[in-house]
Structures are given as structure tokens and as C-alpha cells.
Amino acid sequence: MKVARVIGVFCVMGAALAVFSTRTVHAQATGDRPKPPWDLVAKDRPWDKGEKIDLRWKLSPDDPDTIAFYRVYRSLATKPAEQVEFEDRLEVLVDLFEDLDVPPEQLRAAIEELLPRLRAAAASEHGRHCEYHHHARRAVGAVERYLAAGMENWELNRRAGKALSTLENAIPLSEVQRENEELETSEERKAKMHLTEPVLEELFGRQWKEMWEERADEIPADVRMWLYGRRIAAEAEAEARARATAAARGDAVRWKLVVELEPKALDVHTGEMTYTVEMLDRFQEYSFKVSAVNRAQVESDAVTAAARVQPVRQIYDGARFALMVIVFVICGAVMFFIQMARSGRPLKVRTIAGLSAVDEAVGRATEMGRSILFVAGIQDMNDIQTIAGITVLSRVSKLAAEYDARVEVPTARSLVMTAARETVQAAYLEAGRPDAYRRDDIYYVTDEQFGFVAYLQGMMVREKPAACFYMGTFFAESLILAETGNSIGAIQIAGTAMPAQLPFFVAACDYTLIGEEFFAASAYLSGEAHQLGSLKGQDVGKLIVGIMVVAGVIVATALSIAVLADHTVGAAYLEAIVEYIRKVILT
Amino acid sequence: MKRTIPLFITAIGGFVLIAAVFSGYTQSWGEVAAIWFDVLAAIAYILGGGNLMKIHLKKISDRTEGWAYSVVTIIAFLATLIIGLGKIGVNPSEQFPDYAWSGSYREVGGPFWWIYEYAFKPLTATMFAMLAFYVASAAFRAFRAKNLEAVLLLGTAFIILLGRTYAGVWVTGWLPDWLSGLKLENVTVTIMKVFNTAGNRAIMIGIALGIASTSLRVLLGVDRSYLGGGEE
């Protein structure tokens, strides 16, 4: 009966889609220049982190079937003129530091002229081009120390020069500069590598040319290349400055193709298209233009947006709204069930075999008089799986303390060792056996993955622990550990959230906590009502996920039906929904 | 106090970083927190090194079983540490030829590079190579057809193994085009793309929810076992 209803729903959807059917006309493409799109509007994307601009334009008045796609261009970002000037002066100052014949007065004047700008660069907004500001701060410090020493200390002179040179190299390039550099690394640059005499003269000046002729062998190839690189950089700078000036006048914008967009049926239906240009620099203003290209690959004139637009960073990132709702609902549910459990409402949690076997494993080790091996993965304390592993260790060591069994915890990270020691010590205290706690049983081995495995393998073969717990993040070592444990006949319980390692643990261990079971372990083993409440809260998350999966499957299936039935407008609407789910909710 | 302060730091840090994800101004805070952690972890290396020395020297002193391995460990540890930190055998860099330590400690041909290239890498590769044998032994045990599930697993694994080799192409290569979906290489792709992906995603969703729940328990101080127990 239910199956019949589902089929009925799909039939109704299919019939509804028929309403949106459109006729397909294949117009003959011509070589004539198509009419341009019009009314291009560029607006800063509201509620974003300052890197997107929304574009909207009306489609070309030509027959839509003759237009193959629309080209979206944006202007290349340049640097403000004052920044370019600062970089020029910095370059001059670096050269002065490198030139040993410069009189101190001239150097002092140049330093004092640039120092306020240097200080401003060091104090400007932190976080953007962080490396640049860091080097600016270092340069200011080095130059001030040099000045304070009366400009007579040679070591301080060298350090200041080095710091300024480092700063010069750390200055981020603008897009225009980067593009120039890319051009220079092309075949054209390779061709220039042949250092002919005129090029050398141009590069090194007369003095250098004389030196070249007299002691050519003394100039190593890398010095020549370095000098050549400086010339290229200077050229790029000069060009960038010229273009920045031209861009400021608005008469020579350099354009970059952003995307070629094929109009969809929905766009043709509404007569306009939208596109969001992403990954922009919020410190730059941009111009945009759009052109139409017909099926004969002839491009129309472009329509340019009336004003330059600068992305603005907002306090709230609207792109993450869906994520925020999901976080609130899931976290709210978890907190609600924790509160409910605290109020005394009974909660039922299904039996997890792997966790029920913890008692058995610890008991077996006690009976056999052998130790228990606990491995909390190979990641550090900033990994949630390590934290989950440590919480399980707390329960295991408490049991071990009660049974008077020995727990050995080799770790691959020093911080994990410290945390594990605290945890085990507290567990022994809680069990009323603080005297039985052995600090040296929890120790650091190595950070190196296979070094750690080699140690564990050797230790397992030598000491033959009766029970092995693997709880945390594991990679390729999972199977080596589990198989070694299997070969010595230990009872093995593993838990990890690494999907690729789960099959290995399942194959070689007695019990495996798969994904969420591993995270539930601590709450499950504690038996505390409020901790179990958090597990109930997870179920709400599963319900939401289930609903979204079903909704997504229905929409995607309907989209497939619409495409098969050639219902282009209906398919366009459904595709928009699928894209929204895929790009906004799922990412 | 020993529990309260870490709990307070955890809660404040955790909730601030969650909130930071939703604001354009604060999205880099997570990176800053990661740098703080790196600083802590770097300092903890000293702790780890000290512990390593203590444990192995104690083993040597007590002559416990396998103490000779501890001797090897300590010699290797100290030799690598001294050679690496002291930049022994490293040539000065071209930029600062007057400074003996200005070269890179990883200089090709240097002693540290030699240790890495001819001791560390072969040893690591040896450990990794053992994996092949363990995969075979684990597969042999897992694929015993003792019940229906094991038979299904065995059958699927057999198809995947065949489909990923030339034998699979050869065995079903004679099938006509209209039956191409039954060719082993195509069946393999379907199994991996549909069944495997579906199962994998189900596990991933469970993991994501588990992480959210565990994180909340930790941030709210409901689960304090990672700090060494629940009581003050």
C-alpha cells in the first residue's frame, strides 16, 4: 500500500512537470555579432565575509537559442598609489643599505623619511597579509635599534638592511604584478635568458660591463640570474605602477575572465541571469563587464556595470545560515535531553556489545595476571577522537584499579601522555586504589607513526598483554596493531572514527566500536543519566538527517524524471533546489 | 580549582570558536587557536624527550626484558638530536658564508640527511611493507564463509579483487555490449560507487553527530573524564 502511494506521488510529480514543458528551437547560428546583454548591476553580497559580489544582467535581445554562453569579466586588482610609492622608497632604502659607499647622512635621511610609513605598515590591520606585517614590525625594530646606536654599529647595520630586504620580499604582489610575473616566466622570458652584450650593458651599466669583460669568470651564473631577476622585478613594478595610475584614471582597466556561463532554461524564462563572483579581495574595488557569445563563437560588445564595487565584510556570514540552524537544533536537542535526564526521566540506550565486553577484557587480564594495553591513537589532544579515547581510558583504568590489573598506555604524543596520566591517576583515586597507580606505565614513545608501531609490536610480542584497547585516530598502523594483538591471543576492542580503518579492526579485533558507538562509549560506560541524555540528543540529529536525505532523494529523482521528460523549466527549478542543497546546506 | 580552570578555558574557547565560524570577522580565530596549540605541543616535546630518556634509562638500569633495545633507542635518539640541533657536517649557506650554522640542517649529503635517507626511510618502509602480509592474513580470516553475512562479504570481495585486476576484464570481456553492466570491472565500480559510498556516508553521518555530541559534553563539562574524573 505504501509502495503504491510512493509511486502515485511520483506520477503526480511527473504530470505536474508536464505543465512546465517548453518547446525547443534550434536556431541557426550565424557569424553576425550578437547583441550585447544589458542592464548589468553589480552589488556587494549582503551578509558575507567580504569576498563576493552579486551580478545581475538582462539577456541579449537576440534569439536565446543563438547564444552559446555569457562571458563574465572582472577588473584585475591593483595596489593603491601610495602603497606603490612606499614600496618604491623601500626598494631604494634597501639599495642604500647594500651600497657601502653611501654617506651616513644620506642613509639617515632616507631612513627618517621612510620610518613613519614603516611604522604605519607595522601597525596596520593584523591578520591580512600577516607575514608582511610581521616583517614590517621586525624591520621597524631593527632600524630603530640601528639609529639608537648612532648608526655606527656594523652588525646592527647589517641586521637592519637584512630586515628591510626581507620585508621587501614579503610584500604581497597585486594581481597585476602577479600576472606580469607569470608573463615573464613564459617562453618570452626564456628567450631573454641569453645574455647578449647589449642586454648586459642594459643590465649592469658601463661599470658592470667593464667588470664583466675583465673578470667574466668571477661572476657566477646565479649572481647573473639574480641581477637579471631584479631587472625583471623592476620592470614589473614599473608596469604595475603605470597600470595602477591608468586604472585610477579609469581609462585602462585590465580585465580577467571569471567564467563562461551557459544560460539555463530558467534564465531564458525570466530573461535575466545572475552570478556571484567569489574569492575577491575586500580591500579592492572591482569593475565588471559581461558579453554574449553566439554559437559561431562571435563575442558581442560588453555591458559594463555602472559603478566600481568593493566587497564589504559583514559581521554575520549568511552563507552559513543553514549550518547555524542545524547546529542550534542538534545542540539544543542534546542539551534538552541532558536536562531531561537530570530531572530523573528514565532513558533507554541499546546495548553496545563492544562496550559490554570491557568488563570481560579487564577481568580476563586480571585472571591471566597480564597487563592491559591501551592505545589512544596517534594524534594529539586537539583531535576529538583522542579525547574520546581518553574518556574510555578513564573507565577502563577505573575497572583495572578495582580488579587490580595493570594498564599500560604508550602514547605517540607528549600531551596525550600528560592527559592520560591525569586521567588514570584520577580513576585509580576514584576506585579507592591511589597506591596502585603507576605513573611510569603511561609513557611517551615517539611521534613517528611507524616508529610507534614498531615499538608497540615489539612490546606486544614480548609482554603479551591479555587485553588490547585501540581507541582513537588510527591510520595504516591499525591492521599491524590488530593483527599482532590477534597473533598473541589478546582480547581486542577497537574504536575509531576513521572509516578507512574500520574494516581492518572489524577483521582482526573481537569487538569494534564503529563511528558513533566510539563517541558514545564514555557516556555508555559511565552509566550516568545526564551523559546518556546526550546520546538521545544525537537521535534528533539522525531524524533531521533522515528527513533531509529523503527530501534530497525525492528532489533529485524528480529532477531526473524532468530531464528524461525534457521538461526544461521544471528541471531548472528542481536543479536550483538540488544546487542549493548541495552547495549551501551540504557544504 | 584544578578542574574548574581547565573546564572554564575549554568551555570559553570552544563556544567562542563555534560562534567565530559564523562571523566574517572571526573566522581566522580557529587558525590562531591552532597556532597556540602548536606552541604548546612544541613545548611538550621537551616533556616527551625527557620521559623517553627516563623510561629507557630505567629499563637499562633495571635490566628488564629487552633492555638492549632501550640502549639502541637512547643512542639513536641522542645521536640524531645532537647531529640535528648542532647542524653537524652542514656547510654554511651561500648568503651567510661566515656563519657556520647558517646552512640548512637538511642539506643533501649532510649527516642528518644521511640518517633520514639511509636509516629512517628504510626502517619506515619496512614497517609499512609488513602491512601487505597482515592484509592477507586478516582477509583470510575475515572471508571464511561461516554464515550468510560472511558469504556475502566473501562474494563481494571476490568481485572487487577480480574487477580491479586484468583477470576480471579477461573473464567477462566476452559479454556483449548490452550486458556490459555485468562485466566485472563495471560491477566493481557500481559496488564501490553505490553500496560502498552509501555505507560509508551512513557511518560518516553517525560520526559527525557523535563528534557534535561529544564536543558538547566536553564543552558543557558534562563529561570530565578527560580531565581525570568528575569530582572536584
CATH assignment at residue A281: 2.60.40.10
**pLDDT classification of B169: cutoffs 50, 70, 90:** confident
Among residues A527, A558, A575, which one ends one of the domains?
A: A527
Interface probe with A: pick from B35, B55, B217, B227, most Cβ of A within 10 Å: B217
Distance CA A42, CA A310 (A): 10
Whether A21 is in a domain gets the answer no
Whether A340 is in a domain gets the answer no
Among residues A249, A274, A292, which one ends one of the domains?
A: A249
User: What was the ipTM of the complex prediction?
Assistant: 0.90
Whether A257 is in a domain gets the answer no
Instruction: Check CB contact of B214 with chain A, cutoff 8 Å.
Output: yes
Contacts of B163 by beta carbon, 8 Å cutoff, 6+ apart:
B184, B185, B186, B187, B188, B189
Same domain flag for A105 and A142: yes
Low-confidence stretches of chain A (pLDDT < 70) are: 1-31, 124-130, 179-253, 587
Is the pLDDT at B193 greater than 70? The verdict is: yes
Which residue type occupies A288? F
Helices marked H in B92-196: 111-115, 121-142, 148-163, 166-172, 184-190
| Average pLDDT value for chain B | 88
For residue A578, give how far its alpha carbon lies from the nearest alpha carbon of chain B (Å).
18
Same domain flag for A94 and A53: no
Whether A517 is in a domain gets the answer yes
For β-strands A53-58 and A38-44, DSSP reports them as antiparallel
Instruction: Check CB contact of B167 with chain A, cutoff 8 Å.
Output: no
- As beta bridge partners, residue A375 has A470
Whether A66 is in a domain gets the answer yes
Which residue type occupies A205? G
Cell digits of residue A558: 524528480
Report the SS3 class of residue A8. helix
Q: What is the mean pLDDT of residues B29-45?
A: 86
Same domain flag for A203 and A96: yes
Same domain flag for A290 and A365: no
Residues of chain B found within 8 Å of residue A422, distances taken between Cβ atoms: 227-228
Among the residue ranges A426-430, A571-575, B85-89, B110-114, the one predicted with the least confidence is A571-575
Position A202 scores a pLDDT of: 61
Whether A446 is in a domain gets the answer yes
Distance CA B209, CA A498 (A): 14
Position B108 scores a pLDDT of: 85
User: CB–CB of B44 and A418 under 8 A?
Assistant: yes
Is the pLDDT at B232 greater than 50? The verdict is: no
Residue A482 CB-half CA count within 13 A:
33
What value does the CA radius of gyration of chain B take, rounded to a whole number of Å? 27
Distance CA A97, CA A164 (A): 9
Instruction: Check CB contact of A335 with chain B, cutoff 8 Å.
Output: yes
Same domain flag for A358 and A480: yes
Same domain flag for A70 and A90: no
Position A74 scores a pLDDT of: 92
Whether A536 is in a domain gets the answer no
What residues make up the domain containing A487?
Answer: 353-527
Exposure of A190 by Cβ count < 10 A (0-12 exposed, 13-18 middle, 19+ buried)? exposed
Same domain flag for A38 and A59: yes
For β-strands A467-471 and A53-58, DSSP reports them as unpaired
Tracing cell 631593527 back to the chain, one arrives at A142
Among residues A249, A275, A296, which one ends one of the domains?
A: A249
Same domain flag for A514 and A547: no
Residues of chain B found within 8 Å of residue A504, distances taken between Cβ atoms: 138
Whether A325 is in a domain gets the answer no
Please tell me the total number of residues recorded for chain B in this structure: 232
DSSP sequence for A265-334: HHHHHHTEEEEEE-S--TTS-B-EEEEEEETT--B-PPEE-SS-B---B-SS-GGGHHHHHHHHHHHHHH
Position A14 scores a pLDDT of: 47
| Contact assessment for residue A174 and residue A77, using Cβ atoms and an 8 Å cutoff | yes
Same domain flag for A144 and A69: no
Distance CA A190, CA A95 (A): 27
Same domain flag for A228 and A133: yes
Report the SS3 class of residue B229. coil
What count of other Cβ atoms lies within 10 Å of the Cβ of residue A337? 23
Same domain flag for A231 and A288: no
Distance CA A25, CA A28 (A): 9
Give the CATH number, domain containing residue A401.
3.40.50
Render the burial of A44-82: b for 16+ CB within 10 Å, e for the rest. Answer: bbeebbbebbbbebbbbebebbbbbbbbbbbbbbbbeee
Instruction: Check CB contact of B213 with chain A, cutoff 8 Å.
Output: yes
Is the pLDDT at B98 greater than 80? The verdict is: no
- Which of residues 492 through 511 in chain A touch B, CB cutoff 8 A? 497, 499, 502, 504, 506-508
**Domain count of the fold of chain A:** 4
Same domain flag for A160 and A231: yes
